[in-house]
Amino acid sequence: MADRESEVVAKLASGVSGLNQAAWDRIVGNDPFLSHAFLAALEISGSVGKGTGWTPRLSSSRIRNRT
């Protein structure tokens, strides 16, 4: 079996709105307070962000295989 090379790709987002909704919800499960829709509503309404003391900083990563 040949060795495979992989790389980790990381992405930083300034809010949940910049991330894929279906992928986010699949990871967090059925917790309504972690759902993409709830967190995005907090961002859109201005409840979190500049001047509130709560600034979203999210990271995502994925492994990409090379052959």
Q: Could you list the residue range(s) of the whole structural domain that residue 20 is in?
A: 5-66
User: pLDDT at residue 61 above 90?
Assistant: no
| Mean pLDDT within 32-42 | 95
Q: Is the pLDDT confidence value at 2 over 70? A: no
User: Where would I find the H helices in the chain?
Assistant: 21-28, 36-45
Q: How many residues does the chain have?
A: 67
Percent of the chain with pLDDT over 70: 93
Total count of domains within the chain: 1
Whole-angstrom distance, CA of residue 44 vs CA of residue 41:
5
pTM for the full model? Answer: 0.74
pLDDT tops 90 at residue 42: yes
